[in-house]
Amino acid sequence: MKILLIGGTGLISTAVSKKIVERGDELYLLNRGHHNDLAPKEAHLIIGDYRKDDLKELFKGMHFDVVANYIAFTEEDVKRDVEVFAGLTDQYVFISSASAYQKPVRDFPITEETPLENQYWEYSNNKIKCERYLRSIDIKGFNVTIVRPSHTYDDTKLIAVLKDHANQYGIIDRILKEKPYIIPGDGTSLWTLTFNEDYAELFVPLLGEKRAYGEDYHITSDFVYTWEQIYEFFCDALGKKPNPIHIPTDYIVKHLPEFAGELYGDKMHSAIFDNRKVKVFNPIYEAKYSYKDIAKKAVAHYMNNKELQTVNKAFEARLDALIEAYLKK
What pLDDT was estimated at residue 7?
86
Best CA proximity match to 56, nearest among 88, 27, 26, 95: 88
Q: Residues 47-63: pLDDT tens digits?
A: 999 999 999 999 999 99
Cα 192 from Cα 194, distance rounded (Å): 7
Cα 208 from Cα 2, distance rounded (Å): 9
Cα 123 from Cα 96, distance rounded (Å): 10
Determine if residue 204 is left, alpha or beta; phi over 0 gives left, psi from -120 to 50 gives alpha, anything else beta.
alpha
DSSP 202-224: HHGGGTT-GGGTT-EEEE--S-E
169-192+223-271+286-328: which CATH architecture?
A: Alpha-Beta Complex (3.90)
Query: What is residue 19's three-state secondary structure?
Result: helix
Beta-strand relationship, 190-195 and 224-226: antiparallel
What pLDDT was estimated at residue 186?
87
Residue 32 has pLDDT above 90, yes or no: no
Find residue 26's DSSP bridge partners.
2
Residue 311 has pLDDT above 80, yes or no: yes
Entry pTM: 0.95
Domain ranges of the chain: 2-153+193-219, 169-192+223-271+286-328
Average pLDDT of the residues in 101-126? 94
Best CA proximity match to 270, nearest among 125, 70, 101: 101
What pLDDT was estimated at residue 4?
97
What pLDDT was estimated at residue 221?
95
Cα 102 from Cα 120, distance rounded (Å): 10
Average pLDDT of the residues in 183-188? 90
Average pLDDT of the residues in 305-319? 97
Backbone angles phi, psi at 234, to 5 degrees: -65, -45
Instruction: Decide if 17 contacts 68 (C-beta within 8 A).
Output: no
Best CA proximity match to 71, nearest among 47, 100, 43, 51: 51
2-153+193-219: which CATH architecture?
A: 3-Layer(aba) Sandwich (3.40)
Give the best-scoring range by mean pLDDT among 6-15, 183-192, 303-312. Answer: 303-312
Q: Which sign, positive or negative, has the C-alpha torsion 167, 171, 172, 178? A: positive
What pLDDT was estimated at residue 187?
83
